[in-house]
Structure 1
Amino acid sequence: MTGQWKKPAASGLQVAVHIGALLPLLWLIVAINQGRLGGDPVKELIHYLGMGTIRLLLLTLLVSPMAKTLHFGQLNRLRRPLGLWCFAWATLHFTAWLALDLGLDWSLIGAELIKRSYILLGFFAWLILLALAVTSVPALLKKMGRNWKKLHGLLYLVVVLACWHFWWSVKSGWIEPAIYAAVALALMAWRRQTVVRWVKSFR
């Protein structure tokens, strides 16, 4: 009975993940149309998408320890949809910066990447998320074998880069990025055995 209950529960949670990641984007469309993004809507839009990305990253880190704590292995099925939504939000964040803030001026984009270190950190984090999204396809997962886990362990690095990117991007007020960094460190500490095993796998 427990196994029969857990599978529908996990499927329901997957649906909840998709709805939870999609609804804020739908709200964003409404907010843009109604002019609710304040005096600098482009800046607010980029910030909103960036914060959504970090929250999804932290939720992705939370899944495995929660599955162990609750003895609910089916919860691990949420990692893939959360990771893919995280990549989707990060791509929207990056695209909004490229298109709306810099107007797809590639010379200006190149200059900004070189001049502003926090943008370079965010770009590296996005590239890693791109690699993780591409290799999350089940067929590639089987082909990669153990190397898949090694590659997908780079999510820990993405979390560090994202929090660092956020910290350096704010011009005033360090409390909000400090809170997210503290949560990320707490989750990494909770998963410390897994993190240590991943680091040792490169030796």
Structure 2
Amino acid sequence: MFRLDYPPLANWAGFSAALLYVVTLLPTILRVVFPSTKTTGIPKKLLIQRRLLGIIAFLLSVIHGYWMVSKRELDFLDLQTYWIYCQGIFTFLIFALLAITSNDWSVKKLKKSWKKLHKLTYLAMFLLLWHVIDKMWGHWTWVTPPSLFITGIITTLFVIRVIRENYVLDKSKAQSSQSKAPEATASKKD
């Protein structure tokens, strides 16, 4: 029989971190996938607190990681540890980079590189989904289904966003090449 266990505090911290992280991804995804949300002002309100929520999510992930390491008494001198927890470690490292650079000083110093660096958040999104599936499969707790749901939904919405943005980009390229075509034929006639 399928049964859900009560989650330890470490899992609650991980779930809370994932939830806040997903909220940081919502503004752009909602604006592209559900354009009508622009009129509600929801994406704009979420955007205002994005950095703060991201930093809180990072701190919760630190707590989650610390409690899990303490509970499992992991040996960081054993390479097997890194293999088993690679997706959690990589996600944590990305979150650390994003948290460290989530300030106005970093935006000014890094300029265009800041945006490129913060696009790592989308890699973290896929790693986080993998982490939840890999670590919770077979021993589900009460926070596993909502964790899988929110990380799965945001990942799916992100894929839809990329498809829509590429469709719009391809469409605008086609329109610009069509508008140049009559000019080119007209100049050849002259």
TM-score by length of 2: 0.67
| Residue of structure 2 equivalent to 1:107 | 77
Contact 1:54–1:163 (8 Å) recurs in 2: no
Q: Which has the higher contact order (CA 8 A, sep 6+)?
A: 2
Task: For residues 84-131 of structure 1, give each alpha carbon's deviation from its aligned partner in whole angstroms, at most 9, with x where no partner exists.
Answer: 1111111111111222331x65436x54223x1xx1101000001100
| Residue of structure 2 equivalent to 1:64 | 28
Return the letter of the residue paired with 1:164.
W
Structure 1's 63 and 101: CA in aligned 2 closer, same or farther, altered over 3 A?
A: same
Matches within 5 A, 1:88-167: 88-102=59-73, 105-107=75-77, 110-114=79-83, 116=84, 119-167=85-133
Q: Which stretch shifts more, 72-81 or 87-96?
A: 72-81
3-state SS, counterpart of residue 70 of structure 1: helix
Q: How many angstroms apart in 2 are the aligned matches of 1:112 and 1:122?
A: 11
Q: How many angstroms apart in 1 are the aligned matches of 2:164 and 2:106?
A: 22
| Residue of structure 2 equivalent to 1:16 | none
Aligned length: 151
Contact 1:65–1:191 (8 Å) recurs in 2: yes
3-state SS, counterpart of residue 49 of structure 2: helix
| Residue of structure 1 equivalent to 2:14 | 50
Structure 1's 156 and 194: CA in aligned 2 closer, same or farther, altered over 3 A?
A: farther
| Residue of structure 2 equivalent to 1:184 | 154
Q: How many angstroms apart in 2 are the aligned matches of 1:60 and 1:190?
A: 17
Q: How many angstroms apart in 1 are the aligned matches of 2:165 and 2:67?
A: 32
Q: Which has the larger radius of gyration?
A: 2
Return the letter of the residue paired with 2:38.
L
RMSD: 2.9
Task: For residues 146-189 of structure 1, give each alpha carbon's deviation from its aligned partner in whole angstroms, at most 9, with x where no partner exists.
Answer: 11111111111111101101101124278826534431223303
Q: How many angstroms apart in 1 are the aligned matches of 2:157 and 2:52?
A: 19
Q: How many angstroms apart in 1 are the aligned matches of 2:97 and 2:54?
A: 11
Long gaps (5+) in structure 2: 167-190
Contact 1:122–1:162 (8 Å) recurs in 2: yes
TM-score by length of 1: 0.63
Long gaps (5+) in structure 1: 1-39, 197-203
Question: Which runs of at least 4 in structure 1 moved beyond 4 Å after TM superposition?
Answer: 193-196
Q: How many angstroms apart in 2 are the aligned matches of 1:57 and 1:159?
A: 9
